Amino acid sequence: MKITKTPFGTTKNGETATLYTVTNNMGMKVSFTDYGANIVSIIVPDKEGEFEDIALGFKSIGGYEVNGPGFGSLIGRCANRIGGARFELNGKEYTLEKNEGKNNLHSGSPAYNKVMYETEIYEEEDMVSIEFSRLSPHMEQGFPGNLDLTVTYSLTENNELVIEYHAVSDMDTVVNMTNHSYFNLSGHNSGSILDHKVWIKANQFTPTSDDLIPTGEYRDVEGTPMDFRQLKRIGDNIDDDYEPLKQAGGYDHNYVLDISRDEVEKVAELVDESTGRVMEIFTDKPGMQFYTANMLTPVEDGKDGATYGKRTGVCFETQHFPNACNINTFPNSILKAGQEYEYVTIYKFTCR
């Protein structure tokens, strides 16, 4: 295992960013930056032993300062959508930035993927970890409480990228952090992901209104295009005449994971038969947003001169359910003062 540090440019505010690259003895290599705690690249082998970067991203810090799609991003304080850009907590109403119509998406400004983080590095024989931390002050983005947060990325010798989330607030608040990496197992610059196959351990999903805010309903996937309980090609049903797919322009839905939540369990799998690459997803979070980049407008300053367009990547965002702070039938996304927010997500890479 080894780690290297290289300059990653200077932000428009004059902040110096660093790129941290961790390489294991299997040759897997993952790069992160302290600007936004973003994952910049994930380089893994295919069935022939050829290595390729399978994470969409930018070639320089300038791209991450804009980063509308959220490539590789840590998202918080509350990932996903909050209806009406408001919630009530302890009898008080809090209003948030309306950045998607009348609703709030991924909390607003300053976005967690566009601020600097303090960094600590931990090296062990079979794992290297990078911890990014900061204080999100009271009322930042409109949320109450000073939130001490850390996200720790670890690369293991088993080709696992482990993401550990930890946070503590001095007031009751809403917390729902996730990672918004876009994956393409054929290579980040290889085009459509519709031939990739997906398995998701979920019997239900949460349908939405036309503006993609969950209605509070739990709907069975049985007999619908949303059913991924058997490995299925993404493109098989993505354009079916089914209201949830038409609303989102494809898959952009929260799946109710069929897990105990007492431990980290396997919840999904992504397979690219052309390269043999497989990505397994493990978590102890209750939900996962499966997003097929339906709204990705052409991004022309990608790595290696790449242009990324609609459906060229796929996201697996482990999470609490969208709008959970306003829907009492959903698992609670309220973090009590002094309580620890602790969750784990693992992306494991193999070939078959």
Residues marked active site are found at 180, 317
Residue 21, token pair as written in the block:
């690259």
User: What is residue 246's three-state secondary structure?
Assistant: helix
Buried b (16+ CB within 10 A) or exposed e, 82-116: bbebbbebeeeebebbeebeebbbbbbeebbbbbb
Q: Residues 6 or more apart from 243 whose CB is under 8 A from it?
A: 207
- Distance (Å, whole) CA 78 – CA 175: 5
Q: What is the Cα–Cα distance from 51 to 275, expressed in whole angstroms? A: 10
CB-based contacts of 163-167 (< 8 A; 24+ apart in sequence)? 163/344, 163/345, 163/346, 163/347, 164/342, 164/343, 164/344, 165/341, 165/342, 165/343, 165/344, 165/345, 166/340, 166/341, 166/342, 167/335, 167/340, 167/341
Residue recorded with tokens 């959508």: 81
Per-residue exposure over 275-310, b if at least 16 CB sit within 10 Å of its own CB, e if not: bebbbbbbbbbbbbbbbbbeebeebeebbeebebee
As a residue count, the chain comes to: 352
Sign of CA dihedral 315, 320, 323, 328: positive
Pair 104, 82: CB distance under 8 Å: yes
Eight-class DSSP state of 332: P
